[in-house]
Structure 1
Amino acid sequence: MLRPRIIPCLLLHDGGLVKTRRFGEPRYVGDPINAVKIFNEKQVDELCFLDIDATSKGQEPDFDLLRKIAVESRMPLCYGGGIRTAEQAERIIKLGVEKISVSAAALERPELISEIAAAIGRQSVSVVLDVKANRFPFKGYTVLTHNGTRKTGADPVAFAAQAQALGAGEIVINSIDRDGMMEGYDIDLARAVRAATDIPMTVVGGAGKVEDMQALLDAIGTAGAAAGSLFVFKGKYRAVLINYSRPQANG
């Protein structure tokens, strides 16, 4: 049986690392290269970097920074932010990054998923869906892009299934409402996406303790449990301290 993947998810902003709350209030938490060195020592399963500036500012990925990160890293890496072409994805993979994540560009032009999968293999293609619950009286969820500022009208469950059909090798569900709140994952959303897909899935947004990860894994089975605040803050005053812990595997 596959064991769950426990994944620190780090946000790149202005060349440094930040942590947000509900996609706002970015707080500086350190240097990306130093963070990689620390996580190397902690032997994490995988490390994910998301550049929150690239898409919103219309910029390309920072290839030079990615090269430095990949050279330093001793763990699998995933990168997302500003990727709009298969050529960019290929360039990132050649730097030593194992997976790339696409979000806004895939929502705008879903065939990009197929193009990237053909270029680098579907196992290296992750589609990130930033999801927000609809306000009363409407039910369900909506996918947003550009750091949660643009509504797409897409339903995350339906688009996850479409992304899988187009060649995505992984779906990442990121809850905007729970981002940085450290009050637990949106398990109902995770269950709905899990029921509609059968490729690997990672859930991020809300983990405040290891027990939150265990609750997610108990609810949906083997998956990726990602977190930001849990791995960079310590204690009720949210002192910055990079750390890593994991729940026990199911079964």
Structure 2
Amino acid sequence: MGVVTRVIPCLDVAAGRVVKGVNFENLREMGDPVDLARRYFEQGADEITFLDVTATVDERATTYDVVRRTAEQVFIPLTVGGGIRTVDDVARLQEVGADKVGVNSAAIRRPELITEIADRFGAQVLVLSLDVKRSPRVPSGFVVTTHGGRRETDLDALDWAREAIARGAGELLVNSIDADGTRQGFDLELVGLMRDLSSVPVIASGGAGDVSHFAPAVRAGADAVLAASVFHSGQMTVGEVKAALSAEGVAVR
């Protein structure tokens, strides 16, 4: 089999519970992260992504515990993001079972972090998480945000992606804040622009609302497709997404 498209459920975790909102706001509780991760593993998910959306110091212990308990029951790659500021944070997450880490705000504050993580653990461990909004303020029309999409930076999303890849990022997790939670489909223009510049895999995130939304994202250039609320609510299963992709001629596991 050639290149296969990965289907990745995403668990946004706050204080040890899975939450979900729309455009990163009005978060509501969706369940226990370990139970949900096990459900998706059993449905055939290729990977699981955990994002600690409140990543404050007092909740770090909760996240490590969640990752440890998940890794004991779920035998596919786990990516963990939120609150990762140092290589020591990465080492500790690997100790409890994380395979990859997602970095966002800390890398924007200090881009050298990307290089430090890649040099110590390898580029395959490092996922650059990009929370992107449409904005006329930057040349590409897409600006990087932090703090769960609430604060715009001065970084053009395409320029920042190029720099991060050059520094050693092994994957791009491209999340459209505008599409997030709307269930209207992925931002295909954004996916295509990232594909055109990227020498590493691109994960499309934000906007999935129907099984028919996933194949267009792959055709736009996504190597993997990520979704959250549509899986948590039971609106669709991982298997149903894979079946829809396969029916469109997309190779899946």
State how 1:170-189 maps to structure 2 within 5 Å: 170-189=171-190
State how 1:15-164 maps to structure 2 within 5 Å: 15-54=16-55, 60=60, 62-134=63-135, 140-164=141-165
What is the CA–CA distance in structure 2 between the aligned matches of 1:136 and 1:171, rounded to whole Å?
A: 22
SS at match of 2:154: coil
What is the CA–CA distance in structure 2 between the aligned matches of 1:115 and 1:234, rounded to whole Å?
A: 39
Question: Which runs of no fewer than 5 residues in structure 2 stay unpaired?
Answer: none
- Asked if residue 218 in structure 1 is aligned to residue 223 in structure 2, the reply is no
SS at match of 1:153: strand
| Contact 1:171-1:199 within 8 A present in 2 as well | yes
Q: Higher mean Cα deviation, 11-20 or 34-43?
A: 34-43
- Asked if residue 250 in structure 1 is aligned to residue 250 in structure 2, the reply is yes
CA shift digits 1:127-161 (9 cap, x unpaired): 00100111699970111111112221111111111
| Contact 1:60-1:83 within 8 A present in 2 as well | no
SS at match of 2:186: coil
Q: Give the % identical residues.
A: 36
1:232 corresponds to: 232
Shift >3 Å, 4+ stretches = 57-61, 135-139
Amino acid at match of 2:212: E
What is the CA–CA distance in structure 1 between the aligned matches of 2:17 and 2:227, rounded to whole Å?
A: 18
Deviation at 1:70, TM superposition (A): 1.5
Normalising by structure 2, we get a TM-score of 0.90
234 and 71 in structure 1: CA distance in 2 versus 1, 3 angstrom threshold = closer
Normalising by structure 1, we get a TM-score of 0.90
What is the CA–CA distance in structure 2 between the aligned matches of 1:54 and 1:137, rounded to whole Å?
A: 28
| Contact 1:184-1:208 within 8 A present in 2 as well | yes
| Contact 2:8-2:45 within 8 A present in 1 as well | yes
What is the CA–CA distance in structure 1 between the aligned matches of 2:139 and 2:108, rounded to whole Å?
A: 22
1:2 corresponds to: 3
Higher helix share: 2
Question: Which runs of no fewer than 5 residues in structure 1 stay unpaired?
Answer: 236-241
| Contact 2:140-2:157 within 8 A present in 1 as well | no
